[in-house]
Amino acid sequence: MFNTILCIDDDPISLMISKKIISKIAFAKEVVTALNGEEALNFYKSAKDNPDQNPKIDLIFLDLNMPVMGGWKFLEIFTTDEYNKFNKNTRVIIISSTVDPQDLAKAKIFPIVTDFLPKPITIGMLEYLNEKLK
């Protein structure tokens, strides 16, 4: 079981379903959500500005296509030294409806990306990840 997962997706219904599925099979103790990459980075910035707060996010489920800031831009910024305190032990699973080979190739540029899976999050997917990420 993971301690905390961050789900970044612009669809509130997808976030709600993801939270329900994650808690149904006890995949994580806590699920934090953000509606886009900028909101997720602001979450980390507030933790950085407050030394008592250190969100230990084990895993990020990241959508790619979002308004304000999409998944690729989030990854570009999150993997910089500025976020090193947070990204060292965090793994990212891209959850997307795209099957574009260019997206799959681009994901390999980021060592933090552990897998690229199709939407939506399912129990089978979480069971697969549980085995893979042990």
Q: pLDDT (tens digit, 9 = 90+) per residue, 71-89?
A: 999 999 999 999 988 888 8
Tokens of 83: 């976020």
- Match 């990459």 to its residue by tokens: 37
As a CATH number, domain 2-132 is: 3.40.50.2300
Residue 52 has what pLDDT?
A: 67
Residue 51 has what pLDDT?
A: 64
Give 103-132 as a DSSP string.
HHHHHTT-TTEEEEEESSP-HHHHHHHHHH
For the stretch 42-74, pLDDT in tens is 999 887 777 666 678 999 999 999 999 999 999
For the stretch 79-132, pLDDT in tens is 999 998 888 889 999 999 887 889 999 999 999 999 999 999 999 999 999 999
- The full set of domain ranges for the chain reads 2-132
